[in-house]
Amino acid sequence: MHIIRKKITVQGQVQGIGFRPFVYRLAAELNLTGFVYNYTEGVTIEIQGNEDNIEKFIDRLKQGGRKKPLLKITSMNITEIVPIIDERSFEIRQSATIGTVSAEVTADIATCKDCLAELFDKNDFRYRYPFINCTNCGPRYSIIRSIPYDRPNTTMSGFSMCSKCKKQYENVEDRRFHAQPAACPVCGPKIKLCEKAGGEIEGDSDKAVWETVRLLLAGKIIAIKGLGGFHLACDGENDEAVKTLRLRKMRDYKPFAMMAADVDKIRQFAHVDKTAACLLQSSQTPIVLLAKKEPNTIAPSAAEGVNTFGFMLPYMPLHHLIFSQEIDGRKLNALVMTSGNIADEPLICKDSIAFEKLSAVADTFLIHDREIYRQVDDSVMHIIQNEPVQIRRARGFVPQAFVLKICAPVDIFAAGADLKNTFCFAKQNRLILSEHIGDMADASVYKHWLYSIEHLKSLFEVNPSVVACDMHPNYLSSQYARKLKKDRLIEIQHHWAHIASVLAEHAIDEKVIGIVADGTGYGSDGAIWGCECLIASLDGFQRFGHLSYWPLAGGDLAAKEAIRPITGLMKKYNLSISDAVLDGIEPDREKRDAIEQQIEKNINAVSTSSLGRLFDAVSALCGLGNYNHFEAQLPMTLEAIADYKTHRSYDFELKNENGVVTIDIGVMLEKIVEDRTSGADEGVISAKFHNTAAEFFLALSKQAREQTGIKTVAISGGVFCNRFLLERLIELLQNDGFNVLFNKLVPTNDGGISLGQAAIAAKAIKKG
Ligand SMILES: [Zn+2]
Ligand SMILES: [Zn+2]
């Protein structure tokens, strides 16, 4: 019999998901000898035996994804090597730390079905154990200090396995074979209920869960330490409790995320279609935005002014225990589960900081002694055209890398934007995007950003010599990038980066028509851009068209008070709006005069094509108020009231100004004011306005196609978090024969910027 030996290196998402046991079983079945080990770039296998069986082995390795849903092989390198005489077995060897690090650390994974069954099985030795997990589920990214992903490199290093756990860990036939965080009530982490000062109230696991649920049902607020950080939890059906939480957390209006026991429960409060049900139950368990059902029993102050609830399912065994706990015939139907932080500060993951900062918010703390090494927020998604789309990319997805078609010759750091920051590293052909970091305006977020850059740099052993950032002169992220003084600094226009993020996630590198709908982005001419049509590729861009410039006064306040964009638009289009209407928006006439003066004298005023600010203005004209208490509050309310059945729109004009197409919306604004004064339905006005925006984007795209022959449109920008607008535009474009690409895997808002920056930079250095 002819014996051969092959060396196979496998890269991709191959560590921490039971890949080595899978390989072991395969080798055993096919009578092959050799070994397998994790190395820093992936997994190495040496396999020996008869040629036929080795071919079968390789085939089944490639098909492995069917049996192991988390397995994602991105590359496989096979070379024939000299056979070893007298090799008798196949073994799993200790991890080797050689080569450069680019192995993909896996994301945290929600409790699997098998573990859940054991959790509620009285005969299992992990019955009701809040940290049950296996190779198919449990913490990964949030507990890893360094790679390779082995127990000593995680925050589980301090827990030594008992004999029962160890037996499973060492048994290849067991689901917990090499499950790094495997533990049980005897040897693993424990929960306890504590008072604000940190003193223990209840140390027994079951009693702590019972007491937590009792307190929640009684309207108390509990800080619960979870997988990637603390949550602040309260009964989602108790309006008093929710109001108290708002007050204490200093969060006035922004909707709270919620959790319910299962999809059927969520269906009592919101519409859940097939796609949504799948997404909710996926191993990533993101928060999914779902259309509200009316009437419902959720506390009114949980999500006011929007037509959606953000729901997620339990993803930790502890969550399942809480929802299954019955007290005097009552169970929790829905929990508000908002990030454990104050206002816009970073998510808290350390016990000591939680006690320090959250004691003014939470009545009681449910904590545990498994350290969270990296804080990871819950991901937020919604559904566009029956497909899951990211809004906030974090737990469950990070740090899964994106694969580029080109290979960057040196490592790259992309700083991202100042709002909804994420940053990104490019290493060879991988783009490693950080989780959602937050808004840099908060000093503690900035500090966390700096720390995170260093941590991920060392975790992935990236050593960037090229830095990419936004061309904005005052972004903190850009100022930091400029100070790094690396070999090369690449400053990138904001909206070009948005379009590049679409190209990067779809792994295409060609010229497209880029449609951007955004709040604010620094333009190459110094104006504030935000409603753009670009002819763009990863190599460069050309501005094809935009919303005609109008003056906007007030710096930071311009994005808060709708009266500012309204005043600017009145000026630009000679619009007359009655004092009665204006009084309804901003009753302080002196203030209105002052804003007008600012614009006339050009003090603290800019030229803008911002679509976000136009949405603010139209919202206020529809009587929805003058103030964004949180980002995009007014536009979200405008979307919430839009009448889906209305397909009519307003007129607009495309003009040619200095070789660029501009959109003139004077007529539209006049008609909106007219409609409003004559008492037309706000929902219809809102829909007509949304439709108009979709139509002028279509008109721009058609002109661009005529001139360039390009048939692919890439859509991005924060305003496209607006589902009404995005779906209408996609429909119009597709009906007109365009190939339409939009962000799905990364947020369309500024959370996707760093991915685009990294892709542009990789292309730039590849070209030299
Ligand atoms: Zn499991
Ligand atoms: Zn144990």
Q: What is the pLDDT of residue 101?
A: 44
Do residues 61 and 76 make contact, with C-beta atoms less than 8 angstroms apart?
yes
- pLDDT band for position 102 (50/70/90)? very low
How far is the centre of ligand 1, averaged over its atoms, from the C-alpha of 19 (Å)? 15
Count CB atoms within 10 A of the CB of residue 707.
12
- Contact status, residue 213 vs residue 327, Cβ threshold 8 Å: yes
Taking the centre of ligand 1 as the mean of its atom positions, its distance from the CA of residue 283, in whole angstroms, is 10
Confidence of residue 736 (pLDDT cuts 50, 70, 90): very high
- How far is the centre of ligand 2, averaged over its atoms, from the C-alpha of 67 (Å)? 27
- Separation of alpha carbons 541 and 502, rounded Å: 14
What integer pLDDT is reported at residue 67 of this predicted model?
65
Average pLDDT, the chain: 93
- Residue 107's pLDDT is 87
> Across the beta sheet with 257-260, what order do the strands follow?
200-202, 191-194, 364-368, 222-225, 230-235, 334-339, 257-260, 308-312, 287-291, 380-384, 387-392
The pLDDT assigned to 95 comes to: 61
User: Residue 762: which H helix or E strand, with range?
Assistant: helix 753-767
Residue 515 sits at φ, ψ, to 5 deg, of: -105, 120
Q: Stretch 492-513: mean pLDDT, rounded?
A: 96
Q: Is the pLDDT of residue 738 over 90?
A: yes
- The string of pLDDT tens digits covering residues 666-690 is 999 999 999 999 999 999 999 999 9
182 Cα: distance to centroid of ligand 1 (angstroms): 9
pLDDT of residue 490: 98
Ligand closest in space to the Cα of 111: 1
For residue 469 the two structure tokens come to 């950032």
CA distance 24 to 45: 10
The tokens for 624 are 């929805």
What is the pTM for the complete model shown? Answer: 0.90
Residue 53 scores a pLDDT above 50 = yes
Residue 600 has pLDDT above 70, yes or no: yes
pLDDT in tens, 327-374: 999 999 999 999 999 888 999 999 999 999 999 999 999 999 999 999
Pairing between strand 230-235 and 334-339? Answer: antiparallel
Cα 127 to middle of ligand 2, angstroms: 12
Least-confidence region, from 166-180, 343-357, 445-459, 715-729:
166-180
- Ligand 2 centre distance from Cα of residue 46 (Å): 32
Mean pLDDT of 197-216: 97
State the distance from the centre of ligand 2 to the C-alpha of 126, rounded, in angstroms: 8
Q: Which of 217, 387, 414 is nearest to 743 (CA)?
A: 387
In this predicted structure, the answer to whether residue 429 has a pLDDT above a threshold of 90 is no
Mean pLDDT across 303-314: 96
Q: How far is the CA of 160 from the centre of ligand 2 (A)?
A: 8
Given a cut of 90, whether residue 379 has pLDDT beyond it is: yes
Q: Which ligand is nearest to the CA of 175?
A: 1
> SS3 for 163-179, per residue?
HHHHHHHHCCCCCCCCC
Q: Give the residue with greater pLDDT, 98 vs 413.
A: 413
The ligand that comes nearest to the alpha carbon of residue 139 is 1
CA of 200 to the centre of ligand 2 (A): 24
Indicate the SS3 state at residue 48: strand
Neighbours of ion ligand 1 (CB under 5 A): 112, 115, 134, 136-137
The more confident residue out of 6 and 17 is: 6
Strand 380-384 to strand 364-368: parallel, antiparallel, or no bridges (unpaired)? unpaired
> What's the confidence (pLDDT) of residue 18?
81
pLDDT at 96: 52
Distance (Å) from CA 319 to ligand 1 centroid = 15
What would the pLDDT profile of 545-597 be if each residue is shown by its tens digit?
999 999 999 888 899 999 999 999 999 999 999 999 999 999 999 999 999 99
Distance 285 CA to ligand 1 centre (A): 14
Q: Which ligand lies nearest the alpha carbon of 137? A: 1
Nearest ligand, CA 129: 2
Kindly provide the residue ranges of all beta strands, DSSP E only, lying in 456-587, ordered along the sequence. Answer: 466-470, 488-492, 512-522, 528-536, 541-547, 550-553
What pLDDT is recorded for position 469?
98
Q: Rounded to the nearest whole angstrom, what is the distance from the C-alpha of residue 312 to the centroid of ligand 1? A: 19
730: pLDDT strictly greater than 90: yes
**For a pLDDT cut of 70, what percent of the chain falls above it?**
98
| Closest C-alpha among 510, 498, 512, 503 to residue 544 | 512
pLDDT of residue 98: 40
Q: What distance in angstroms lies between residue 25's CA and the mean position of ligand 1's atoms? A: 19
Q: Could you report the per-residue pLDDT of 512-557, keeping only the tens digit for each?
A: 999 999 999 999 999 999 999 999 999 999 999 999 999 999 888 8
Contact 351, 329 (CB under 8 A): no
Average pLDDT of span 453-472: 95
Centre of ligand 1 to C-alpha 125, Å, is 14
**What pLDDT, on the 0 to 100 scale, is given for residue 189?**
98
Identify which of 714, 756, 720 has the alpha carbon closest to the alpha carbon of residue 739. Answer: 714
Compute the distance from residue 145 Cα to the ligand 2 centre, in Å: 22
Closest of 314, 306, 346, 332 to residue 641, by C-alpha: 306
d(CA 570, CA 667): 12
* d(CA 458, ligand 1 centre) in Å: 29
User: How far apart are the C-alpha atoms of 567 and 2, rounded to whole Å?
Assistant: 84
Say what the pLDDT of residue 65 is.
54
* pLDDT computed for residue 100 by the predictor: 40
The CA distance from 181 to 396, in Å, is 16
Look at the block and give the residue holding tokens 């058609």: 702
CA of 609 to the centre of ligand 2 (A): 61
What average pLDDT does range 229-242 have in this prediction? 98
Ligand minimally distant from the alpha carbon of residue 187:
2
Q: How far is the CA of 539 from the centre of ligand 2 (A)?
A: 55
Confidence of residue 86 (pLDDT cuts 50, 70, 90): confident
Mean pLDDT of 624-648: 95
The yes-or-no verdict on residue 85 having pLDDT over 80 is: no
Q: Terminus-to-terminus CA distance in the chain, angstroms? A: 53
Contacts of 538 (CB under 8 A, 6+ apart): 500, 503, 504, 509, 759, 760, 762, 763
**Using 50, 70 and 90 to split pLDDT, how confident is the model at 97?**
very low
> What values do phi and psi take at 206, rounded to 5?
-65, -40
The pLDDT value given to residue 171: 84
Ligand 1 midpoint to CA 133 (Å): 4
